[in-house]
Amino acid sequence: MDDWKQVEFCFFSKIEKCVAEFHIIDGLQKTPYGKFKVKIFEGVNGEYSGVTDIAVRDIEGGNFRNGSGRGSSVADTLEKTLISFSALLSERKEWKDSDFEWLQPEEF
């Protein structure tokens, strides 16, 4: 099942496999629509990374930032990604829809 990790690639710097997608319900209703997704990817060396499909505008520069995390397993990475996104959401008490930006479905 891990034979994809053996693929030789000379023109590409990295291959990751999407190993999980989670639909998260926002119980605090801070995000538009009250839900978002997290995808978890596995790299060829067994490392995991996660990212949210929604970004929030930071209060300092106005740039949009996604929740993200790295871990040693799918569960560990999911937890770290959610902690990262929660930290972004806690930067302010009130949010407007214009403070959020969704990744395009074809990008996620």
Q: How would you write 48-85 as a 3-class SS string? A: EEEEEEEEEECCCCCCEEEEEEEECCHHHHHHHHHHHH
User: So what's the pLDDT on residue 1?
Assistant: 60
Give pLDDT < 70 ranges for the chain: 1, 4-5, 9-10, 106-108
pTM check: above 0.95: no
In the chain, the amino acid numbered 7 is: V
Q: Domain for residue 21, yes or no?
A: yes
Number of domains in the chain: 1
How far apart are the C-alpha atoms of 30 and 42, rounded to whole Å?
A: 29
Q: Give residue 100's region: left, alpha or beta (phi > 0; psi -120 to 50).
A: beta
| Residue 9 domain flag | no
Instruction: Give domain status of residue 3, yes or no.
Output: no
Within a domain: 95 = yes
77 domain residue, yes or no: yes
pLDDT at 68: 98
Do the domain assignments include residue 92?
Answer: yes
Give the domain range for residue 68: 15-102
Does residue 85 fall inside a structural domain?
Answer: yes
